[in-house]
Structure 1
Amino acid sequence: MKIRVISSAVALISCFSYSNAQTADLNKIFADAEKQTKVMLAEIPKAKTTGSAATVGVTPGSAGQELVSPRTLDSSKLRLVSSRDWTSGFFPGELWFLYEFTGKKEWKTEAEKYTASIEREKTNAGTHDMGFKVYCSFGTGYRLTKDAHYKEVIIESAKTLSTRFNKVAGVIKSWDNRTKWKYPVIIDNMMNLELLFAATKLTGDSSFYKIAVSHANTTMKNHFREDYSSYHVVDYDTVSGKVTQRTTHQGYANESAWSRGQAWGLYGYTMCYRFTKDKKYLQQAEKIAAYMTKHKNFPKDFVPYYDYDAPGIPNEPRDASAAAVMASALYELSLYSKNGVAYKKIADAVIVNLTKSYRSAIGENRGFLLLHSTGSKPSNSEVDVPLCYADYYYLEALLRSKKLKEKKQLF
């Protein structure tokens, strides 16, 4: 892995030049993203023709299903997944982002096509990933088009997700059929609450909102350590509602801080504050941000190692996806917090460094935008590869930075 590291001081200086010339830079960045995405669109049918398998560890229930979205590269080959995979909604979301920035009908057409392939998931109650799958695709599409059918899909999906809520434990179950856990809840699940909050906003039905708040409150109570780092997996007893164990699945160790998990928490509680205006969520987001950005192992280029406590730092894999999620979250958090100026500078620095040192060359890597992400280092799965969700949150962060500069609403 070759990464051109930019020192934090230089990165922050770069932020100012980036901000001052942001429109021109963004035009170039999105023009490059368009070129890369056209490469991806050409590669997808080729991968289908050659029988590209679903992602490593095939998503339960996806065997034999149509492969609809790109997820990563495996030995330089494009890996596609079925709609059941938790990552299936990110590529449609990227297409919507390209449409949002360019206004070009061709991107709207492609976004509609790939979004439609996710619709069957609206009744899939076997997963907590409804927000990732449906809200990143249909939710983004609805924000831009106000398509009535998209609204119906969002509401139906929220109803489906709600069936996974346990009143005793106060949380939404993450994974089914796991021998290591009985009722696992992962920090990633905070991201799926946006679907529930949106459903209440669309329908006026407060039941979705109440489930989201319960999950956020219970997660805040049980997932976080005194330093505001987060466990990855918390297992519950559904009879008593008590925690039975706290572990990790994708980080270095049970007591370590998996970097993307920290980013999920930051993004999740910032988003919760957006919908509720409850200050405890804002404070939680600020404390998570402080943990992440002030940690002794926070790299000089602001792109985290896959785990803040990985023993081989600085010779550990980076996770560009964690950086992209963090940057997008910090842009939003900058709107709400007294530390907003500092948060925006950090987000700008992350975007500068991702753009300069982590992007794919045009025409390479089957059309992915960012390199050097890490899915699950302990499983030796998707290590130092492109990942679709890194690209999604990178584009989202870029769009948020543009809106902030133009003093426009983010939502």
Structure 2
Amino acid sequence: MNWINTLSKFEPGVDPISVSLRRNVVDRAVRQARQQLTRLASLPPSEEIRLPYVTHHGKYILGDKWSSGFFIGLLYRLYQLTGDPIYLEEADHWIGLIEPYKNQGDYQDIGFLFYYSYALGYELTGKEAYKATALEAADHLFDSQLPGGYLECNWLPEGKHYAGIDSMMNIRLWLWASRVTGEKRYHTAAMESARITSEAMMREDGFTYEYMRMNPFTGAAEQPYNKNARFGTESVWARGHTWALYGAVQLYVLNREEEWRHKVQQLSAFYLSHVCTDGVPAWDLMLSGEDTALKDASAAAIACSAFFQFAAALSNQDPLRQPILQHAERILDTLTSAEYAPLGPDHEGVLVHASSPLHIVQTAGESQIWGDYFLLEALYYALEVGS
């Protein structure tokens, strides 16, 4: 499938997103972040992690979740987009809630928790304490790696027998650790996990599985399993697919290897051929042709950010660069439109219609903290690439 030609899935004549429209999204994110910070400050002291997770009737549920690092990351992106140091100060105030997870190495989602908080915080502030904490978490992530090379999914029954597509994101903590320390062990572990995940859960046609039952000693794939999908192994969980796409982009950006460039093309082609006409997928990619299917705008935000980062890694002469920028800009145009904005000031999210109805958000019009984060990340990388 030639993914360059999938531009035809979008309606022709869409105007480029305006600077003012992007600024409106940042302004909305500023308002919503201030709402959340005021709310968090009013809570009684607690040793529990209580950070925004998903909205219910427009109000963020606070909880101790795998996604807690994204609220810290959102504050960092607001600092980058506004230049206001208050967001660095607020991130510094709340980031300590996540720190107890750094030693929980049998929980692979410490990759999510610590890259988008401590590692990103170190990149922006240069604080050695942030770097030390993120590296400690990266060291403990090895506790999740089985002899077969993949990361265990300890939240599943028999989790040692399953590799998950989420690992394509969690290994970003190792990729960061490799870059800042120069230690080969991080890079080796990340590449081994990515290779096994790719071979087991990404087909040549770009189709992805959410989980694969594996031999924990050899890393041999045995049986696919999809938890967050409508039709079992015949489905493609939209957010999981974009986790895979985003992870493949990170690997290409780091190594510039043709293998990962090709994988990005495969995953992108499948994604773009299974989204709705506005570039946003149904929560299960195989449902995107159904008008009544709930959409997952968070998956679109993940893909959009990945596309901008991939484009930035390509030369101006590369034939892939302009088409992928067009895809990224059109998706960002959609996500910053009124259709994906909260209907009123009382809604606490930034990006709506982020749904995963089997387990989390079962109605339209709700937000998820990772959707809000990746929308701001996409805005940041859109400025970086100069679109």
Calculate the TM-score normalised by the size of structure 1. 0.85
The correspondence for 2:194, drawn from 216, 222, 237, is 216
Per-residue CA shift, 1:153-211, capped at 9, x if unaligned? 111111011121123x22111224x3265422111110111110111112221111100
One-letter amino acid of the counterpart of residue 358, structure 2:
P
CA contact (8 A) 1:247 1:255 kept: no
2:245 is the alignment partner of 1:266: yes
Q: Aligned equivalents of 2:202 and 2:342: distance in 1? A: 35
Q: Aligned equivalents of 2:217 and 2:117: distance in 1? A: 36
CA contact (8 A) 2:153 2:160 kept: no
Q: Aligned equivalents of 1:98 and 1:45: distance in 2? A: 19
Equivalent residue, structure 2, for 1:95: 75
SS at match of 1:338: coil
How far is 1:76 from its partner? 4.5
2:52 is the alignment partner of 1:66: no
Q: Aligned equivalents of 2:325 and 2:256: distance in 1? A: 20
SS at match of 1:364: coil
Question: CA, structure 1 residues 380+157, in 2 after alignment: closer, same or farther (shift >3 Å)?
Answer: closer
Q: 5+ residue gaps in structure 2?
A: 1-8
The correspondence for 2:268, drawn from 285, 289, 293, is 289
SS at match of 1:78: strand
CA contact (8 A) 1:235 1:246 kept: yes
CA contact (8 A) 1:270 1:329 kept: yes
One-letter amino acid of the counterpart of residue 212, structure 1:
A
- Runs of 4+ aligned structure 1 residues displaced above 4 Å come to 380-383
How far is 1:311 from its partner? 8.6
CA contact (8 A) 1:93 1:136 kept: yes
Q: Aligned equivalents of 2:118 and 2:56: distance in 1? A: 28
Equivalent residue, structure 2, for 1:250: 228
Equivalent residue, structure 1, for 2:98: 118
Sequence identity (%): 25
Question: CA, structure 1 residues 106+249, in 2 after alignment: closer, same or farther (shift >3 Å)?
Answer: same
How far is 1:42 from its partner? 2.5
Q: Aligned equivalents of 2:149 and 2:258: distance in 1? A: 20
Question: CA, structure 1 residues 380+362, in 2 after alignment: closer, same or farther (shift >3 Å)?
Answer: closer
Greater displacement, 250-259 / 26-35? 26-35
Per-residue CA shift, 1:195-250, capped at 9, x if unaligned? 10111112221111100000111111110223111000112122343223211011
Equivalent residue, structure 2, for 1:131: 111
Q: Aligned equivalents of 2:159 and 2:84: distance in 1? A: 47
Question: CA, structure 1 residues 200+164, in 2 after alignment: closer, same or farther (shift >3 Å)?
Answer: same
Equivalent residue, structure 2, for 1:44: 40
How far is 1:381 from its partner? 4.7
How far is 1:312 from its partner? 7.7
The correspondence for 1:314, drawn from 291, 295, 318, is 291
Q: Aligned equivalents of 2:327 and 2:375: distance in 1? A: 14
Equivalent residue, structure 2, for 1:236: 214
Equivalent residue, structure 2, for 1:333: 310
Question: CA, structure 1 residues 166+304, in 2 after alignment: closer, same or farther (shift >3 Å)?
Answer: same
Question: CA, structure 1 residues 207+73, in 2 after alignment: closer, same or farther (shift >3 Å)?
Answer: same
How far is 1:350 from its partner? 1.0
Greater displacement, 379-388 / 252-261? 379-388
2:60 is the alignment partner of 1:78: yes
One-letter amino acid of the counterpart of residue 75, structure 2:
L
CA contact (8 A) 1:304 1:322 kept: yes
Aligned pairs, number: 372
Q: Aligned equivalents of 1:361 and 1:129: distance in 2? A: 32
Equivalent residue, structure 1, for 2:5: none
Equivalent residue, structure 2, for 1:9: 11
SS at match of 1:235: strand
Q: Aligned equivalents of 2:185 and 2:249: distance in 1? A: 21
Equivalent residue, structure 2, for 1:187: 165
Q: Aligned equivalents of 1:368 and 1:325: distance in 2? A: 16
